[in-house]
Structure 1
Amino acid sequence: MSELLHIDGLRAWYGAAQVLHGVQLAIREGEAVALAGRNGSGRSTLAKAIMGLVRCEGDMRFRGVPLVGLRAFRIARLGIGYVPETRDVFPTLSVRENLALGEKKGARFTLDDAYGLFPSLLERATVKAGALSGGEQQMLALARTLMGDPALIVIDEPGEGLAPRVIGQVAQALLALRSRGVAMLLIEERLTIARVLDARVAVMGHGAVQFDGPLTELARRDDVVRDWLAVG
């Protein structure tokens, strides 16, 4: 698999406060990578940096195209989709209208694909997004991103606040997407969905990647779990 996203020496700030301190990470075509770490480790900031939503410096390229300094809409047009933790659906628009906003002419993924991945959205197609459950809103946010035909999806806490059954549905939908060649970067605290996807794990701490490898290796690294993941 060829390299899709390349990050080297990435630094990012909120105002005068530096949050990322030289992040190094690579994601290949069709690969799933889970970003783990404690709260405040820099995971969400990295997602926002990829999407051009925070000030950053360093080398960050998508299919060879430099991303640093690009505006978010241009980054999205290159083929990167973003599902923030807040989901950000349009509450006064129906499910179908939300999906239509994300539609891209000539995309591999159609409205039928979105409904096939998330059948409950078809059942609720005329319902306003603000009336959906948290799980349905997460599905809608994912489906709307899919309509933009991304090669890479960045997803911040896809299972946050969802019942285990719904998390399972989201995981199976992401597995189906991966089988169609979509790469993904998941920010996930408990690695529940990462296990379903057999994702590689990058552990962040102090604004940098402290471990990068398969889940099986992480399970053997008591030092990494103790120093960068354990709480209390």
Structure 2
Amino acid sequence: MSVALHIENLRAWYGDAQVLHGVNLRVGEGEAVALIGRNGSGRSTLAKAIMGLVRCAGEMRYRDVPLVGLRPHRIARLGLGYVPETRDVFPALTVRENLVLGEKKGTRFTLADAYRLFPVLEERASVKAGALSGGEQQMLALARTLAGDPSLVVIDEPGEGLAPQVLAQVGACLATLRERGVAMLLIEERLTLARMLDARVAVMGHGAVRFDGPFAALARDERVMREWLSVG
């Protein structure tokens, strides 16, 4: 499998506070990787570093194009999409306006695809995004990102606060993306979506990757489970 995203010895800071301490990670073309860990482990900071939203140093390449130092819009144009935990829809615009705003000419993921995968978005197409429920905003944020035709999507906590039925819809959407060859880095707490997608698992702790492998191997690794995942 060829490598889409290559990260080596990546460090990142908020001001003078260093959060990432030498992250090493690879995501293959069309592969799903689930990034898990305790709160404060650096997962969301890694997502922001990939998208050029925090100061970082080290080696980071997307299809052999260096990412460190690039502005976010340049990174997005290379084919990386980002769905932040905060969703960041445009509240004053309608659902349809949000989707059209993110649309790229010739995209593999059309407005019709969005409505087919998330029927509620079509039902509420003329409703302002700020009036949507949290679950509806999550679906809109994901659909809007996909309208930009990314080849790799970084998704931060897509299942947070979602009802099981909505979570299943998000999972179906991500499965469709894998079928279309889109790679994804999935930041998740409960591993529900990771299991659905048969994703490789990477465990973060104290700003570095502490485990990288299949879920079955993680479940057998008592040391990693105890030191980097268990609470209390």
Structure 2 gap ranges (5+)? none
Residue of structure 2 equivalent to 1:31: 31
Name the count of aligned residue pairs.
Answer: 232
Counterpart code for 1:169: Q
| Matches for 1:44-193 after TM superposition, within 5 Å | 44-193=44-193
Structure 1 gap ranges (5+)? none
Counterpart code for 1:83: V
| Segments ≥4 residues shifted beyond 4 Å | none
Counterpart code for 1:58: G
Residue of structure 2 equivalent to 1:20: 20
Deviations 1:151-195 (A, max 9, x none): 001000001111122111111111111111111111101111101
Question: What SS does the corresponding residue of 2:53 show, helix, strand or coil?
Answer: coil
TM-score (norm 2): 0.99
Distance in structure 1 (CA, Å) of the matches to 2:10 and 2:143: 30
Deviations 1:4-44 (A, max 9, x none): 00000100000001100110000001100000000110000
Residue 126 of structure 1: CA displacement?
Answer: 0.7
Counterpart code for 2:227: D
TM-score (norm 1): 0.99
Distance in structure 1 (CA, Å) of the matches to 2:35 and 2:25: 10
Residue 118 of structure 1: CA displacement?
Answer: 1.2
Distance in structure 1 (CA, Å) of the matches to 2:152 and 2:37: 21
Question: Percent identity, aligned pairs only?
Answer: 78
Q: Is the 8 A contact 2:37 2:204 kept in 1?
A: yes
**RMSD, aligned α-carbons:** 0.7
